[in-house]
Amino acid sequence: MPAGSRPRTKLDLDPAVVRTARALARRAGRPVVKLARSHTTVSVERATLRLAGLEGADSDGIPWVNRLVDAVRADAGLEHGVALPVWHAMGTGEHADLVQLAQKAAAGSVTFRVPEGAAAGKAGRAARRDVGRGITRIDRRRKERERLIARIGDPPQRPWIYLIVATGDIYEDIPQARAAAREGADVVAVIRSTGQSLLDYVPEGATREGYAGTYATQENFRLMRAALDDVSRELGRYVRLTNYASGLCMPEMATMAGLERLDMMLNDSMYGILFRDINPIRTFVDQRFSRQVHARAGIIINTGEDNYLTTADAVDEAHTVTVSQLLNEFFAKEAGLEDWQLGLGHAFEINPDLPDSFRLELAHAMLARELFPAAPLKWMPPTKHMTGDVFRGYLLDGFFNLVGAMTGQGILLVGMMTEAVVTPWLSDRDLALQNVRYVLGAAGKLHEDFRPEAGGFIAGRARQVLGEAVELLEKINRDVTHPIPLLGAIADGTFGITRRPADRGKGLDGVVRRADGYVNPAIDILDLSPNVGMGRPGAKRSVTGSPRAN
């Protein structure tokens, strides 16, 4: 190789441009991380109580964690966190456990205050002990997964086949999930009930009346994980379970997922802001905590860039997807996640009537693959341009599967003919799986051979999108009109052509600036986890985790 030359990637990307893109993403993301580290939310505090073992709900279905956090906030505020007031009250010996304390608090028979001095030290130590037990349980569940995979076995091929169930009834979801696994699913996703992301509490217990999906609850997580463990043993391969850590209860969802050994969680840094109008500050505070839990639990996150292409043009706005992927990577690694846990999202959503649409899809998918070579990218099927023409839809799904094979995607969500037209029939799922099996069987290793011309259309388009992404990140970072430029960009409609100001949105009233002396034992423990803080100046990476096991 001539002196000064560099090894050529498939797309001939300039390493200096790639480094610049990541540096700009870090620069845009750091003020947001600083913001997250200086605030708390009601859901972060509730998640902390869940780690300490507080479960259950009152006769109206309101969880005890909500009742207790609300009572503490009314008496003492949340600026110092719930830990000191709650464990100071527990230290009186008048309450048998946290449930009884929450019950008395809901009845108005307990008054909370922030202790000081020796009393604060005693309360802090007790809180760390109890919350630490919950994190230890998450650690045990992670090791349990690794033992099961070692004993049962992993799927023999990539990409993993990802199928959804969404009946609304957990007891109907279970047989459907088992059937999906027997038909070839490597990952089963239980779609969450419509609107749950806007509930500022997590329903309790097993549920049977969801809407276009099943409520995400800890008991539903437990039931489905147990069912998939049974079918995993039957099939001789570990079947992964996916749910959601998004919306107003993102930290609690992540905590419950860790406690019940879920394997993947939908968790995007900006999805709730853009598509659910959740306050940006609330979202960024909650997502950092949730991703720290995911990192500790060995959970793979799935990000939501595919959603941008449902509201914005998939060609004109392709660079915003790349920018979001780079930001999601930064936020994830800063929270402690490793490359093998980054199921970064993208989608096959270009109008098929556009000339060279297939070549454009190849370019975008290859760009994602080369920018994040160690990440199990989640490739999403066509929905936006699906119609009632089932033959055309089946062909589009075949093209989608082919791009996945040609570009080495990690997680392939199975597309179905009537996707986005009606709720697909089980027969549609069977045909979709036949499509996937054929394409992967015939061309599954095509990515090993496929290499576009360096000066050709595909490589040129990929370099163009990367260049536009760098330009957008530079523009975001140049903005001096907003104290936190990324929040300004979100307010201006940069992503998904949706404007979301930082001083508006659902859940803003649940955001609290931390005071000096704020105590949260969950954050204290999670901040000590390996890799947390990656992306901050002076941070050094430690290598942990097991890509093979997850």
Q: Judge contact between 113 and 76, C-beta under 8 A.
A: yes
**Phi and psi dihedrals of 163, rounded to 5?**
-125, 155
Terminal C-alpha separation, the chain: 37
Q: What are phi and psi of 106, to 5 degrees?
A: -65, -30
Residue 238 neighbours by CB under 8 Å, 6+ apart = 145, 148, 149, 152, 153, 154, 155, 232
Handedness of CA 487, 490, 370, 440 (dihedral sign): positive
Told to judge if 271 belongs to the known catalytic residues of this protein, a careful annotator would answer: yes
| Residue of 337, 304, 339 lying closest to 321 (CA atoms) | 304
Q: Of the listed 162, 201, 215, 271, which one is catalytic? A: 271
Of 366, 493, 522, 408, the closest CA to residue 40 belongs to 522
Residue identified by tokens 């799927």 is 155
In this structure, what is the dihedral angle of CA atoms 182, 185, 189, 194, given to the nearest 10 degrees? Answer: -80
- Residues across the chain: 550
SS3 of 243, please?
A: strand
| Catalytic position from the list 378, 394, 428, 518 | 378
User: Is the C-alpha dihedral spanning 465, 469, 470, 475 positive or negative?
Assistant: positive
Residue type, 227: A
Choosing from 130, 263, 268, 306, the catalytic residue is 306
Asked if 328 and 268 touch (Cβ cutoff 8 Å), the reply is yes
Which residue is associated with the tokens 């975001």? 476
Residue pair 133/99 in contact (Cβ under 8 Å)? The answer is no
Q: How far apart are CA 476 and CA 495, in angstroms?
A: 12
Structure tokens at 83: 């830990």
Q: Does residue 494 contact residue 500 with C-beta atoms inside 8 Å?
A: no
Q: Catalytic: 378?
A: yes
- For residue 301, the surrounding DSSP H or E stretch is strand 300-302
Q: Name the DSSP class of 63.
A: B
Query: Residue 164 region, left (φ>0) first, then alpha (ψ -120 to 50), else beta?
Result: beta
DSSP H helical ranges for 266-336 = 271-276, 280-297, 308-311, 318-334
Distance CA 39, CA 172 (A): 40
CA 47, CA 254: separation in Å to the nearest integer?
9
Residues with Cβ within 8 Å of 111's Cβ and at least 6 positions away in sequence, in order, are: 75
Verify whether residue 201 is a known catalytic residue.
no
What six digits make up the tokens of 224? 């489905």
Tell me the C-alpha distance between 409 and 306, whole Å.
14
> 104 near 55, Cβ under 8 Å?
no
Phi and psi at residue 389, in whole multiples of 5°?
-80, 100
CB 324 within 8 A of CB 344: no
- Catalytically annotated residues: 271, 306, 378
